[in-house]
Amino acid sequence: MSQQHYATAPASTSAKAQRSDWWRDAVIYQVYPRSFADSNGDGMGDLEGVRTRLPYLRDLGVDAVWLSPFYASPQADAGYDVADYRAVDPMFGNLLDADALIRDARALGLRTIVDLVPNHSSDQHEWFKRAVAEGPGSPLRDRYHFRPGKGANGELPPNDWESIFGGPAWTRVADGEWYLHLFAPEQPDFNWDHPAVGDEFRSILRFWLDMGVDGFRIDVAHGLVKAEGLPDLGSHDQVKLLGNDVMPFFDQDGVHEIYRQWRLILDEYSGERIFVAEAWTPTIERTANYVRPDELHQAFNFQYLSTAWDAEELREVIDRTLEAMRPVGAPATWVLSNHDVTRHATRFANPPGLGTQIRTAGDRELGLRRARAATLLMLALPGSAYIYQGEELGLPDVVDLADEVRQDPAYFRGAGQDGFRDGCRVPIPWTREGSSYGFGAGGSWLPQPSEWAELSVEAQTGDPDSTLELYRTALAVRRAQPDLGAGDAVEWLRAPEGVLAFRRGEFVCVANTGRESVTIPAYGRLLLASAEVAEVDGEAKLPADTTVWWTTA
């Protein structure tokens, strides 16, 4: 007989969900505000749009919402160039809108995490504008990294560092000095050796904590401290070294003292507020340094995100992650997609790497099938998980955007990152019809493909075979199952080549990453599967690229 691949969704509340250390097994949903929902029809998402869609997130079953930057900004890098950390950019609304969003989220049982960008500011930040205007010797220049150039007339950059977006990491100002920017020239790096920088960010933390946020996702958490003397790296292909080696501008040990100071502030507030680190490090073991008991709470597991859909590779990174986090008592934090990488429904269609090109409808189907299976695997692992908006709809990257609509600064610099981040930032579809499929009344800032009508929330709601209903059911089952969520270990089970199988108490997860169906024991009552599974006489035929959940209870 054929077994339906959805069990009846259990109630969405449980004793486990009421634990105080909510962040250890939280499912956190990333909202990219400009692409989530547009309330005023200007083609750009905003905070009021997010607020109106909060019930959707509650019903999806997530625990918290992480908002990408909405601060006052010239938008040279989609808001990651902040001009005022205590103001909302008018394109997103105002501080009253932020306050209403936080309050409404709390009333719905959702926590709110906001982005914090401490590595760099906008070049339109008052500090930087004054530093440039006052010229060499200005004390304000010490809050950034201004240096004289090399060469007979200072015409060469102070060192050989390269921007993550391509090209030199230095820009020269009219008076001849150079300033450091590890990202776009509009994003000058702060000098965290200067006490005023630390004072300012401790004040910014308190401002938003007093507003009621439940935590902060720290952008470029690994980048704040630079090696003394800003030494040359000695390489001219530096982007390929990112995440593979300790570099003089990333993952310096001095960042940890900053976070110890920040943790003291967070602990002044009730309600278990948290820090989440975006920390690209050479190893999972170095990532664990950021989540020691007196520092941050979570750190994104980019090694897991970068792993291919391959059983052997996945098992290795899962084991290494759990082993690295266990000594520091932190939860593993799993993630498959975000606003900076190719969506996994596209990535898994191209097994050799992180490419963005999907060639055929068959590729799209393969990518989605693997993405669904990968999601159930991720949600079964011990710890916390992050969902990027639209992945619950099975959205792929949009790879055929015209040059004139793109806004990713890395795309125009022509080196560094691949420059295709716009493809994962296209506004999500809510309805089958309309100028932007329900995103807003005035179109969308990036064009949406016509086929997204059938990927919309409206089209998928109530369809038991849809990816949206898979996510809704998976999150409900995860919340109800006592053996899912927090923890630091899995019990691996024997399985055929290409298959991952593990037990957590009375829960069993099996994922077939291979290209052929396999026959395995039926481990109990089927809870959920990413594709149809047939069970006969105590055995289950598990198709390729499929994950299944059982309970032995």
- Residue 415's pLDDT band (cuts 50, 70, 90): very low
d(CA 177, CA 146): 6
Q: What is the pTM of this model?
A: 0.93
pLDDT higher than threshold 90 for residue 232: yes
- Looking at residue 340, its pLDDT comes to 87
Average pLDDT over residues 201-221: 98
- Looking at residue 418, its pLDDT comes to 52
- Closest C-alpha to 377, from 469, 299, 281, 310: 310
pLDDT tens per residue across span 309-318: 999 999 999 9
Percent of the chain with pLDDT over 70: 91
d(CA 110, CA 133): 44
- Residue 17's pLDDT band (cuts 50, 70, 90): very low
- Looking at residue 9, its pLDDT comes to 39
- Looking at residue 235, its pLDDT comes to 76
Burial zone of 553 (CB within 10 Å; 0-12 exposed, 13-18 middle, 19+ buried) = exposed
Average pLDDT over residues 182-196: 97
- Residue 195's pLDDT band (cuts 50, 70, 90): very high
Of the ranges 284-298, 406-420, 477-491, which one carries the lowest mean pLDDT score?
A: 406-420
pLDDT tens per residue across span 303-337: 999 999 999 999 999 999 999 999 999 999 999 99
Q: With beta carbons less than 8 A apart as the criterion, state whether 388 and 340 touch.
A: no
Q: What is the DSSP string of 257-275?
A: HHHHHHHHHHTTSSS--EE
Of the ranges 385-389, 421-425, 462-466, 526-530, which one carries the lowest mean pLDDT score?
A: 421-425
pLDDT tens per residue across span 110-135: 999 999 999 999 999 999 999 999 99
- Looking at residue 334, its pLDDT comes to 97
- Looking at residue 388, its pLDDT comes to 97
- Residue 421's pLDDT band (cuts 50, 70, 90): confident
- Looking at residue 187, its pLDDT comes to 98
Question: Is 268 a catalytic site residue?
Answer: yes
- Residue 441's pLDDT band (cuts 50, 70, 90): very high
pLDDT tens per residue across span 234-283: 877 766 666 667 789 999 999 999 999 999 999 999 989 999 999 989 89
- Looking at residue 359, its pLDDT comes to 56
Question: Which helix H or strand E contains 10, and what residues bound it?
Answer: none
Mean pLDDT value across the chain: 91
- Residue 534's pLDDT band (cuts 50, 70, 90): very high
Q: Regarding predicted confidence, which is higher, 285 or 403?
A: 285
User: Residue 500: what are its φ and ψ, rounded to 5°?
Assistant: -105, 135
The first and second tokens of residue 82, run together, are 């902040």
d(CA 11, CA 97): 32
d(CA 79, CA 69): 6
- Looking at residue 11, its pLDDT comes to 37
- Looking at residue 402, its pLDDT comes to 77
pLDDT tens per residue across span 134-164: 999 999 999 999 999 999 999 999 999 999 8
- Residue 352's pLDDT band (cuts 50, 70, 90): very low
* Sign of the CA dihedral running 264, 269, 272, 275: negative
- Active-site annotation holder among 25, 186, 189, 219: 219
- Looking at residue 363, its pLDDT comes to 84
pLDDT tens per residue across span 353-392: 444 455 566 788 999 999 999 999 999 999 999 999 999 9
pLDDT higher than threshold 60 for residue 2: no
Question: Is 219 a catalytic site residue?
Answer: yes
Average pLDDT over residues 402-418: 63
- Looking at residue 362, its pLDDT comes to 72
- Looking at residue 420, its pLDDT comes to 72
d(CA 333, CA 283): 15
Per-residue b/e over 438-476, b at no fewer than 16 CB within 10 Å? bbbeebbbbebbeebbebbbbbbeeeeebbbbbbbbbbb
Q: With beta carbons less than 8 A apart as the criterion, state whether 29 and 496 touch.
A: no
d(CA 102, CA 113): 9
- Closest C-alpha to 488, from 328, 307, 304, 309: 328
- Looking at residue 196, its pLDDT comes to 98
Percent of the chain with pLDDT over 90: 84
Of the ranges 19-28, 133-142, 250-259, 288-297, which one carries the lowest mean pLDDT score?
A: 19-28
- Active-site annotation holder among 155, 199, 268, 532: 268
Q: How many residues does the chain have?
A: 553
pLDDT tens per residue across span 89-99: 999 999 999 99
